Amino acid sequence: MDSPVVDHGTDDPAQHRVRTVLGAYLALTKPRVIELLLVATIPVMLQAHRGTVDIGLIAATLIGGWLGAASANTLNMVADADIDQKMRRTQRRPLARHAVTPRAALVFGIVLGIASFVVLWFFTNLLAAVLVMITIAFYVGVYTLILKRRTSQNVVWGGAAGCMPTLVGWAAVTGSLSWQPVVLFLVIFFWTPPHTWALAMRYREDYEAAGVPMLPVVATEEQVTRQMVIYTVATVIASLCLIPAAGLIYASVAVLAGAWFAQRVWKLYRDTCAGQEVVPLKVFLQSNEYLALLFCGLAVDAVFHLPTIASYFS
């Protein structure tokens, strides 16, 4: 008699439900968005103590920062649940498809925020913990609830929340702030509009359907790309301001990567003015590459503890 065939590939319904729920809660944190935390925080911490790498402190700061960013993103989804249902790009988010209840998501977001504060205060210092709390409050209270639905300049001022990892990383190492993290804050601040508007140009119809007045919704493509050029130039100028406190590696990357990124955005503007077909999503991806190159250059420069440019003139 043949032995009965057992299907080991069939998922246990209970396990499937657990995985689905866990996946939904993870999606609330917007894991891919948190990549900026890694790109910005680690190089800043290395620059704060050039030539010294404290793995434990970096790990604690990243964990606490991740919890804070996850809290902000979760609370953002709670506030934007109605918008997410109207946009094709966001219709699969947990609250939009009712995979998690708004109440559960709200509690989850608050718990993440509390955990972030505790981790950073205990393992780093109070200043870093407070800065993360300010970030969460600004991102949710100012950007999401006030600016996003009311002004086309929403990402200009609201983008300040995304710049905070530079301040948090520096504060975690030194317990204070200085001009260097402020410069890097400004780099991300000026970088955010062209980065976000390039994506918004691609999904213009989505934002229009949701009633979100992103600049590409209320302005012509020529006007949008002109603004992108202005902010890109400001980004590059801000990045060059850090050169005196860095070495030749960062200086080279800042100049070369900055020139490349400015040329890419200028080309988008020029092609738009000429009435040619443009692919703004390409500039969105290139903006990510630029920021990664810049901060990786800073990290390598700091790890090798190269003489700063200023030291050559002292």
For 193-209, what is each residue's pLDDT tens digit? Answer: 999 999 999 999 989 98
User: In this structure, is residue 1 part of a structural domain?
Assistant: no
Q: For the whole prediction, is pTM greater than 0.75?
A: yes
User: In this structure, is residue 203 part of a structural domain?
Assistant: yes
Q: How many CB atoms lie within 10 A of CB 85?
A: 15
For 157-204, what is each residue's pLDDT tens digit? Answer: 988 999 999 999 999 999 999 999 999 999 999 999 999 999 999 999
User: In this structure, is residue 211 part of a structural domain?
Assistant: yes
* Domains held by the chain: number: 1
For 292-304, what is each residue's pLDDT tens digit? Answer: 999 999 999 999 9
The DSSP output letter for 231 is H
Mean pLDDT in runs of 10 for the chain (314 residues)?
A: 46 76 87 79 93 88 94 94 86 87 95 97 97 96 92 91 94 96 97 96 90 94 97 98 96 98 98 92 95 96 89 83
Report how far residue 163's alpha carbon sits from residue 183's, in angstroms, rounded to the nearest whole number: 10
> Is residue 17 packed enough to be buried (19+ CB in 10 Å), middle (13-18) or exposed (0-12)?
exposed
Helix or strand holding residue 294 (H, E): helix 280-303
Residue 11 has a pLDDT of 58
User: In this structure, is residue 84 part of a structural domain?
Assistant: yes
Give the domain extent around 275: 28-313
User: In this structure, is residue 297 part of a structural domain?
Assistant: yes
Report how far residue 245's alpha carbon sits from residue 298's, in angstroms, rounded to the nearest whole number: 10
User: In this structure, is residue 2 part of a structural domain?
Assistant: no
Report how far residue 66's alpha carbon sits from residue 115's, in angstroms, rounded to the nearest whole number: 10
User: In this structure, is residue 23 part of a structural domain?
Assistant: no
User: In this structure, is residue 120 part of a structural domain?
Assistant: yes
The CATH number for 51's domain is 1.10.357.140
Q: Which two tokens stand for residue 64?
A: 């606490």
Three-class DSSP category at 243: helix
The DSSP output letter for 311 is G
Question: Percent of the chain beyond pLDDT 90?
Answer: 71
Report how far residue 204's alpha carbon sits from residue 212's, in angstroms, rounded to the nearest whole number: 10
